[in-house]
Structure 1
């Protein structure tokens, strides 16, 4: 009897080993091309993770900066009292930041007025119109100029092509101007316009609005800039001081309405104050905000790669494949994504 039991136990043991060996033998290897593709993605996400860790800062968690981000997010999400204000706020922010460029363009047009120089100014307006002229809206018919995002330009904006047009026309007209001063003025003018031709079209869009409006003195931008500077020493979490400043300078905001395209239904002291509060906070946190939004852009790219890697790994489950070591490595910077997930969702694709 003992011999029979021993034989059965021995048979079972070897049988189990055979099954294990059989299970292992049916596992496939991950195709070499897939391993190469995975490792390429992993190398890219490691680079982005390193950049993200460098950009990440403790200053992003400070209450005042988080207050600014909450307001910026409300503009972007178009919610609550910020509904319908984002485009106007961004236009005005850029207008103030680039005021020296706009003022230089305006002063050149006023000072140098030969027929050939005027021809170039007219040409700039012509190509701006080709890029940004849109179907009239109800607000435009009521006397307010608007260049809104909701109505796309006639063709896709390209800063490279825009600059090529500027330079081509500049060479043509410059050759007909005899005085060196006139040539230099036109060169400076073209250079100023080119500075507005960045990847985002908002600077040129503003120039188009300025040229189409009946505002003849853009020095009001300097006054608005002074207001923003004044607010740097104030507690911007309290809107009362901002509203008082708007009330004292209401005529400035009435004029600037034509530039930022604020609909008539939004022309209130409260809305002007919300915009001015945002401009003050943007100036106060300018450096941190630039770094934070760069982080958001990097983390959006990171998330795209993360999704690709996770989807790739799902194709090769450990139960069916002999996984290379790279397939079991943790993806770096997950903790950064989790920390800012809500903000990445809002801002990641905007940058």
Structure 2
């Protein structure tokens, strides 16, 4: 009798806890529970960030260019970074290559200054030339230099008799102002030429001609550039003295590195500017992309029922993957 009763008694875990479901049924319902739903506020945040990516991506596509895959261009990007960060063989050359670059880029202004100084030699004009040299020696800022120059020019023009002489000084002053406004290093370089009594700026023409010659050659061929430096060794020694290059940086290879960089910069500077704008834009893009990536990784498909928004392709991901190694970490 007791056994019959016992057989009719169900185990406690199989009895309804409340309602009509047993504990076992409840456990099974938890185990087999449908996936959780991603909160709506998370989906809304995802879409706001996603919208930023959609706005930035067309800009990235417009800035992207096949030129950025050119091996010589990529070499220039690498060399620019080595100079900027003074890494390895490029250590200690950054400031000097900047002076070298100005020497090439400001060549025409320097030659115009030289021509006027040689052609117009009245006492008042020479007085003005000496005044300018003293200004250069003070190493003023560009703004301070221009103000002092204009004040002295106004004073001395009233003391010059001929219109030709006045015009020459006006052109002279304007040329100096152009150099000053383009780059403070231009004023420093003119001072160094005069300091070492190397007023013959024709050296700059030679350097500029070398750069022009290299533009039509493979600038990635470093040995070719070293050979060019060796063939013009005395001129580079003269330039090294002018820009006050340390003796341990006056090897042919050092000059070749600087010459290679300057030629590459002249050849690729427009593309490089566009490349820099692309990287700046993609750095912003990356900020939003990482947010999207973190949201999606937190709400994985194995644990959540994902909304369609989470399955959208990331706009601009192809550009990001292409330039990922160049982006600011």
Q: Say yes or no: TM over 0.5.
A: yes
Whether 1:292 and 2:272 are equivalent positions in the alignment is yes
The structure-2 alpha-carbon separation of the partners of 1:228 and 1:199, relative to structure 1 and needing over 3 Å to count, comes to closer
Cα contact 1:46–1:332 (8 A) shared by 2: no
Could you say which residue in structure 2 is the equivalent of 1:13?
A: none
Residues 48-71 of structure 1, C-alpha deviation per residue, up to 9 Å, x if partnerless? x76554333110111121122222
Could you say which residue in structure 2 is the equivalent of 1:179?
A: 162
1:216: Cα distance to partner? 2.6
1:199: Cα distance to partner? 5.8
Residues 222-248 of structure 1, C-alpha deviation per residue, up to 9 Å, x if partnerless? 112222222234333333322222222
**In structure 2, how many angstroms separate the alpha carbons of the residues matched to 1:90 and 1:305?**
32
**In structure 2, how many angstroms separate the alpha carbons of the residues matched to 1:120 and 1:160?**
19
2:200 to 199, 217, 230: 217
Could you say which residue in structure 2 is the equivalent of 1:18?
A: none
**In structure 2, how many angstroms separate the alpha carbons of the residues matched to 1:85 and 1:261?**
11
More displaced 10-residue stretch of structure 1: 160-169 or 77-86: 160-169
Residues 62-98 of structure 1, C-alpha deviation per residue, up to 9 Å, x if partnerless? 1121122222222222112222222222221221122
Could you say which residue in structure 2 is the equivalent of 1:105?
A: 113
Alignment TM-score, normalising by the size of structure 1: 0.65
5+ long unaligned stretches in structure 1: 10-26, 31-37, 133-156, 315-328, 347-351
1:310: Cα distance to partner? 8.6
The structure-2 alpha-carbon separation of the partners of 1:218 and 1:160, relative to structure 1 and needing over 3 Å to count, comes to same
The structure-2 alpha-carbon separation of the partners of 1:305 and 1:124, relative to structure 1 and needing over 3 Å to count, comes to farther
More displaced 10-residue stretch of structure 1: 260-269 or 200-209: 200-209
Cα contact 2:68–2:275 (8 A) shared by 1: no
Cα contact 2:63–2:277 (8 A) shared by 1: no
Residues 76-127 of structure 1, C-alpha deviation per residue, up to 9 Å, x if partnerless? 2211222222222222122112211111111212222223323332333333
Cα contact 2:286–2:320 (8 A) shared by 1: no
**In structure 2, how many angstroms separate the alpha carbons of the residues matched to 1:243 and 1:5?**
90
The structure-2 alpha-carbon separation of the partners of 1:344 and 1:293, relative to structure 1 and needing over 3 Å to count, comes to farther
| Secondary structure in structure 2 of the residue aligned to 1:198 | helix
Cα contact 1:170–1:190 (8 A) shared by 2: yes
Could you say which residue in structure 2 is the equivalent of 1:80?
A: 88
The structure with more radius of gyration: 2
The structure-2 alpha-carbon separation of the partners of 1:303 and 1:240, relative to structure 1 and needing over 3 Å to count, comes to closer
5+ long unaligned stretches in structure 2: 1-15, 22-40, 295-311
2:131 to 105, 123, 126: 123
Could you say which residue in structure 2 is the equivalent of 1:16?
A: none
Could you say which residue in structure 2 is the equivalent of 1:264?
A: 247
The structure-2 alpha-carbon separation of the partners of 1:241 and 1:7, relative to structure 1 and needing over 3 Å to count, comes to closer
Q: How many positions carry a matched residue from both structures?
A: 291
The structure-2 alpha-carbon separation of the partners of 1:188 and 1:199, relative to structure 1 and needing over 3 Å to count, comes to closer
Could you say which residue in structure 1 is the equivalent of 2:100?
A: 92
The structure-2 alpha-carbon separation of the partners of 1:89 and 1:334, relative to structure 1 and needing over 3 Å to count, comes to farther
Residues 294-348 of structure 1, C-alpha deviation per residue, up to 9 Å, x if partnerless? 441564477479769999xx9xxxxxxxxxxxxxx999767656644554549xx
More displaced 10-residue stretch of structure 1: 296-305 or 107-116: 296-305
1:220: Cα distance to partner? 1.1
More displaced 10-residue stretch of structure 1: 180-189 or 259-268: 259-268
1:213-292 map, 5 Å: 213-283=196-266, 286=267, 288-292=268-272
| Secondary structure in structure 1 of the residue aligned to 2:198 | coil
